[in-house]
Amino acid sequence: MSFSSKQEVLDSISKFKGLYDVVRIVDPVKKSVEDKDGMAVHTHCYDFWEKGTTCENCVTSRALIENNTFHKIELKKGNIYLITSCPVQVKGDTYALEMLKDITNTGIIENGSMRSKEELEKSIENLNKKLVIDELTGTYNRRFINERLPADIFFASMNKTRLSLIMIDVDDFKNINDSYSHMAGDLILKEVSEIMKSSIRKNIDWVARFGGDEFLICLNGANEEAAAWIAETVRQSVEKAAIEYQDNTINTTLSIGIYTLDGEDITAEELLKRADMNMYEAKKLGKNTIVQDKMNYLLLK
């Protein structure tokens, strides 16, 4: 859909206004509400849910990334909301049109079947997490990266803070699968994931499985020194870990690339590419190695 103004977007669905409790236009990168029910506002989209941070399962980002309409369920003060989000073009810029409907008493979801408010909250939280969590490792998945990383880059730019991205590859992972079986490989990935998750700050940083045996860690507000310290902590912990599988003890190492944003205006794709290039340079240098920003090599063995 393409419109000449945000007001035209809202006017176009005014005849359906009775079907929704809130209608708003959202910038999915800035996470800002551009218009709400025809009035300009200056709040974050997630403020409505009173969570204080961006949603893990961001349906507005998914709508724009996949250029389609999506739905999800959220909870606010015991009330259940159905969110519908679809992409709209306004003067060449892409936004998400969000329509929120309180469905608590509609029977769509049986609130009464839940034993408590806490159980209902947990049920909806688990439902949303399933869409952004990697089933094997418990880290975030590629979809979460695509939705979250652009927003984190934007906030780092707006707040004039640094953001460090750590790209990690498990060394000789194919040989582990070939020598000990894919079950052993899965155990390695789970152990590496637990080490990474235990090495970062909760609710600030995050870990995701990029694909196969590659992972990334996003450190919000972290400078080069902090990123290097986290990377080295993870590298050493994995090197020392011994995975027991049947009658075998399996050891592995990591190749790690780091790139830190410091006021640069680049896309999430470019940031991933730079961290990825450093990670591959670490492999070329002999593995079990860290390569940091702009090809300044940190050889930590």
* Residue 178: both structure tokens together: 């070939």
Give the residue numbers marked as catalytic: 213
As a whole number of angstroms, the distance between CA 210 and CA 168 comes to 9
Amino acid identity of residue 66, one-letter, is: E
Q: Which residues contact 292 (CB under 8 A, 6 or more apart)?
A: 224, 227, 228, 231, 257, 258, 259, 260, 278, 298
How many CB atoms are closer than 10 A to CB 56? 17
CB 218 within 8 A of CB 205: yes
- 137-156 burial, b at 16+ Cβ within 10 Å, e below that, comes to bebbbebbbbbbbbbbbbbb
Q: Give the C-alpha separation, 9 to 94, whole Å.
A: 12
The Cα 288–Cα 284 span in angstroms is 10
The residue ranges of DSSP E strands in 6-92, in sequence order, are 22-27, 32-36, 39-40, 70-76, 79-90
CA atoms 201, 203, 206, 209: torsion sign: positive
| Beta pairing class for 70-76 and 2-3 | unpaired
